[in-house]
Chains A and B, each alone.
Chain A
Amino acid sequence: MELFTNQVLAGIATGAIYACMALAVVMIYQAIDHLNFAQGEMAMFSTFIAWQLMQWGVPYWGAFLLTLAFSFAGGIAIERLLFKPLAKAPILTNVAGFIALYAIINSFAGLIWDFTIKQFPTPFGSSPFLGSQLISTHQAGMIGVTMILLVLLFFFFRFTRIGLAMRAAAAMPESARLVGINTSWMIALGWGMAAAIGSIAGMMIAPVVFLEPNMMLGVLIYGFAAAVLGGLTSPFGAVVGGFLVGIFENLAGTYIPGIGNELKLPIALALIIVVLVVKPAGLFGRPIVKRV
């Protein structure tokens, strides 16, 4: 029983990271109807920035905040330079753009910081949390940071005018323009926020998986699985999906024989396929009905 509780709690902790990645993916998907395959690489690059700042002697939380600001600006820059010109291009052109972005960021990170793994510090320590063997302080910190982020985002989108404008622009762009919303900048803002959310996920998971240019590959696939499971049209669903996928991953790895770390990725991909076949809109997504 203790093993089970332990695995569920550990699943919630990594699930928090998947939830962040899924949320970042869903934010961009809502704004431009494309999956950002480079979301993980953007997060990885941000994490390297944080690491570099700390190497230069910036304290953890200072580096954390600077990285958030850098990521936000970087996300906006990527949208303005690369994806705004592609706004009316066919799907495959956009996919090519995302893959190019993935490769460029990955190679640049390797070029600047090389491909050897690096230790990334945790501000929470890694002793047992509240004296219990079930969960470490870092895992508890991951959950805590994610919860704070989710609450902040909820208030931002629910109660601020700019949050309202962003929701309107994502839901009905033409109507949004007709009330005077600059939808193009709302999309850029969505990119900035998604990049910042992703950077939090990167900085939180880096102490667990170690920092290197390919560290987010697995995390992003699980993030996609979470987003698909929760429904790509539902930010709330993405978060729930993240936690569910985290728990599922850990339980499957523990209880199904033969699934160790090696088969974790296929599990996520299998999950994506099953959801797409059985319930394409996901648990909380709106089915899209088109009149023909």
Chain B
Amino acid sequence: MTAMLNVRDLRAYYGQVQALHGLEFDLNEGSLTTLLGANGAGKTTTLRAICNMVRSTGSIEFEGKPLSGRSTENIVRLGIAHVPQGRGTFTTMTVEENLQLGAITRKDSAAIVSDIERMYDHFPVLKQRHTQQAGTLSGGEQQMLAVARALMLRPRLMLLDEPSFGLAPLIVRDLFRILSKINREDKVSILVVEQNAQLALELADKAYVIETGRIVMSGSASEIANNEDVRKSYLGY
């Protein structure tokens, strides 16, 4: 089986500083894959490189199409939704406008209306707040909005950058439950970057561990979860 996302020899640079050193990994269609790693390991940079938001070399292929040389907005239009760190919420706009922006590249206006309703089913709190300015939502609500906005694209692949960041544990559980439901029911492949390794490994089917810009370990999520080094370094027991 060929992978949906194929990353080979990926090197990324911030000015003179090299952040990724020949990263290689695959993501299979329908999979929920997680990239684990400490602060500064290169997780965010990997996601940003996929969307061409940082200077990089190497090859990234999505469904057989090379992504290099495409602009961020064209990569998004291929069906890759990216929920960035800090969530990328349009804070001065209403919740509903945020959802419409998620679908801004789509032309099927009737389906957009029904998709917005579907998002309100996934995340009832967004319905209550649909006329409210997105900047006034709580952190957890904003993260739900960010995921919902990404789904409005009807993506084939969703990239999530530390969705648990700054959220209360209960809300994180809730969010991850919804993510796994979306992965199974809506057939959206997910690549999630996390520092909360325990939760990410419970959820994912496949995992990679990044250290200083290189993949140092890969395997099924349960293999990784049972690996002694990973347990010591990332799970803390």
Contact = CB atoms under 8 A, between A and B. Distances in A.
B76 to A, nearest CB: 4
A180 B104 CA distance: 7
B213 interface: no
A161 B73 contact: no
B126 to A, nearest CB: 16
A220 B88 CA distance: 36
Nearest to B107: A161
A234 to B, nearest CB: 11
A178 B71 CA distance: 10
A168 interface: yes
Given A177-B72, A178-B51, A182-B73, A171 B100 contact: no
Interface string A119-131: 0000000000000
Interface residues of B, number: 24
A177 B54 CA distance: 13
B227 interface: no
B104 A178 contact: no
A164 B104 contact: yes
Contacts of B90: 168, 171-172, 175
Contact of A165 (B51, B77, B84, B101): B101
Interface string A162-203: 001101100110111111111100000000000000000000
A225 B105 CA distance: 38
B73 A168 contact: no
Contacts of A175: 84, 88-90
A127 B190 CA distance: 69
A179 B76 contact: yes
Contacts of B73: 177, 180-183
B92 A171 contact: yes
Contact size class for A? 10 to 19
SS class, residues of chain A in contact with chain B: helix
Nearest to B52: A177
Contacts of B81: 178
Interface string B75-102: 0110001101000111111000100111
A205 B182 CA distance: 58
A-B pairs, 8 with minimum CB distance? A180-B105, A175-B88, A180-B76, A177-B72, A177-B73, A180-B77, A180-B73, A178-B82
25 contacts: A161-B104, A164-B93, A164-B97, A164-B104, A165-B101, A165-B104, A167-B93, A168-B101, A168-B104, A171-B92, A171-B93, A172-B88, A172-B90, A174-B84, A174-B88, A175-B88, A175-B89, A176-B101, A177-B71, A179-B149, A180-B73, A180-B76, A181-B101, A181-B104, A183-B73
Given A164-B93, A164-B100, A179-B102, 12 more contacts: A161-B104, A164-B101, A172-B88, A172-B91, A175-B84, A176-B101, A177-B53, A178-B51, A178-B81, A179-B76, A179-B104, A180-B105
